[in-house]
Amino acid sequence: MASTPVSRKLSFALVTTAVVFGAVELGLRSAGWPKPSGTFAHNETFWVTDPGLKGSAFPHNEEGTTFAVSTDGNGLRWPLHAEAKPPGTRRLMALGCSTTFGWGVGDAESYPARLEAQLQARGHAGLEVINGGQPGYTSFQGLWLWDEVLSKYDPDVVLIGFIVQDSRRAAYTDKSQAVLQQDARFLKHNLLYRSRIYMGLRAGLGGIQIRAKERVEGGEEGEFRVPPADFAENIRSLVAKVQAKGATPVLFGYPLERSGYTAQHRLILQAAAEQLGVHHLDPQPEIEAASRSGALYFPHDRGHATAAGNDLIATKVADFLEAKGLVGGPP
C-alpha cells in the first residue's frame, strides 16, 4: 500500500528531528561540553571501606590518635555477621555516614555495636545489628550501596540515618559529580544522563551543576551535597526499596552536638515520614540537651560522638524500637 501524503510528511519530520538532535549531540560531544570547573568533593563517586580489616588503625583528629576498625568481606564495620541471615534471627540495619560507622571510636563503641549489645542485654536473644554506615556517605551513595551490598543481608528493620553529609556544602552536588565524571555505576541506571542535550536541559532547569559553586551569598561555600529536592526523592526511593525487601524502614535523624546546618534536612525527613506513613525518630533535642552537660562529642572533631555519646544514642534508639515493637516484642 502506498504511503499517504500525511504519513510521508510525518516520516520526513521524524527523520529531520532525529538528524538535528543527532547533530547537536555530536557537536556538544566534540566540543567537550560540559567542561566542569573547580574541585570535586571526592575523587570517586562511590566507595566502600576496605574489606577484611582486623583491628586496622585509622587516624583521628584528636591529637594524632588512632582507632581500630574491623570489617567483613563487604567492607561493613563490626559487629561482624554473615551475609546470609541465620534462621530465627531478627536483624536490624543502620544506614548513614561516618557518624553511624563510628569514626573515632573502637569497634565495640559505635552506636550500631552498642545498640546490638544493649538490646541483647535487655533479653532480645537472636538479634543482630548490621552497621551499614560508610564514611562520607550521603543518601546518594546509600542508594547505590543498598542495591549492591546492603539488601543482601536481609534486614527486618532498617534505620535510614542519612542527614549529616547530605546537609554539607560542596563545590558540586553528588549527582552533578557523578554525571560530570561520567561514572559508569551511576550512568548504567540513568542512561539519559549520557545525553549532552538532556544534560543541557537539566542544567537550564537547575537540575545539575555545570560549574562549581565555590561560594554563595552570606559566606556559605558551595551547594548542598544533596539538595532538598534530591534528598526527599532519595529518602522516598530508599523507603520503597526497604519495603520491597519486606523490611520496616525507620527515618532516623542522627543527632549532632548542635542541629545547626542539618536543620532544613531534618524537617524534610520528618515531612517524608508523615507523607510516607513510616516511623520517624529524631533524638536531636534530647542529645543536644545532654551534650551541654557532658562530653558526648570529641572536642577537636565535634561532628562525631565519643564512646559515651554513641552509647546514649544507642539507648535512645533501643527505647524507640522497643516502644514501637520493632525488636520482636517484649523480651
8 A C-beta contact, residue 239 and residue 249 = yes
Q: Which three three-digit cell numbers place residue 123?
A: 533479653
- Which residue, 270, 229, 267, is CA-closest to 251? 270
**Other CB atoms within 10 A of residue 118 CB:** 18
Q: What is the pLDDT of residue 273?
A: 98
pTM of the model: 0.90
Asked whether the CA dihedral 141, 145, 150, 155 is positive or negative, the reply is positive
Q: Which parts of the chain register pLDDT below 70? A: 1-3, 12-14, 17-21, 24-25, 28-29, 32-33, 215-220, 329-331
Please name every residue paired with 129 in a beta bridge, in sequence order, or none if there are none: 92
**Other CB atoms within 10 A of residue 143 CB:** 19
CA atoms within 13 A on the CB side of 56: 14
| Radius of gyration for the chain, computed over Cα atoms and rounded to the nearest angstrom | 23
CA atoms within 13 A on the CB side of 214: 4
Angstrom distances, CA of residue 176 to CA of 36, 41, 45, 79: 10, 11, 10, 34
Please state, in angstroms and rounded to a whole number, the distance separating the CA atoms of residues 218 and 211. 19
Q: Which three three-digit cell numbers place residue 115?
A: 545498640
Q: What is the pLDDT of residue 247?
A: 98
Please state, in angstroms and rounded to a whole number, the distance separating the CA atoms of residues 231 and 243. 18
Q: What is the pLDDT of residue 76?
A: 98
Give the right CATH number for 56-172+212-323 from 3.30.479.30, 1.10.10.10, 3.40.50.720, 3.40.50.1110. 3.40.50.1110
